[in-house]
Amino acid sequence: MGLEQLTPEEQAEVARIRKRVIETIGSNMDLYGITQSTGHLYGLMFFSDKPMTLDEMGQEMKMSKTSMSTGVRKLLDLKMVNKVWEKGSRKDLYEVEYDWHQTFADFFATEWRRAVESNRNALRRSLAEINRLLLQSQPEDEADAFRQILLQDKNKMENAMAYYAWLDRLIDAMESGEIFDWIPKELS
């Protein structure tokens, strides 16, 4: 439903309320690695009652089409907006992904998976090196400080590997949607 059917006073009230939400969304989008202006763009699209073109976004935000394109591309990459088709339109149209639960799961699953793999690779290499050094040392050297430190570090790294195995299962649950069986979405 468009604002054009409202009185100017009603339009101003709605605009004021929406502005507060849009500004807050923009301020908090750094969590997703998104600039404040792209967060504002997301907020604008969130309140739009129809898919928008880059030109419409640029007019509303008083920004260039290039800036809109960069922001939309980032939001598309994060699966926070979708490109949609509309009969009769030759321009690309975009709308917000309204399932914030899935957006959250998709984003963090991707980011966490990347971090888990990076950390696991470093831990694997380090554990292999520790094991090689432990094999070279003599077991009767239990009092040897170097060996003791290696054994302590090995234990810490094995615990970290167990944590990353658990985090992998959590990521799998996020990607499959199984997490929503454990923590159901609350919809209004």
CB 38 within 8 A of CB 29: yes
List per-block mean pLDDT (blocks of 10 residues) for the chain, which spans 188 residues.
85 94 91 88 92 92 89 92 88 91 88 94 98 84 82 97 96 93 88
- Please give the span between the terminal C-alpha atoms of the chain, in angstroms, as a whole number: 19
Question: pTM above the 0.75 mark?
Answer: no
Q: How far is CA 76 from the centre of its chain?
A: 12
CB 41 within 8 A of CB 29: no
According to the model, what pLDDT value does residue 171 have?
95
Strand-pair partners of 49:
none
Residues 6+ apart with CB under 8 A from 65: 54, 55, 58
Architecture of domain 3-97: Orthogonal Bundle (1.10)
Residues 6+ apart with CB under 8 A from 96: 42, 45, 46, 48, 80, 81, 82
According to the model, what pLDDT value does residue 181 have?
94
According to the model, what pLDDT value does residue 131 have?
96
Residue whose pair of structure tokens reads 């799998």 in the numeric block: 172
According to the model, what pLDDT value does residue 141 have?
64
According to the model, what pLDDT value does residue 154 have?
97
Any idea how long the chain is?
Answer: 188
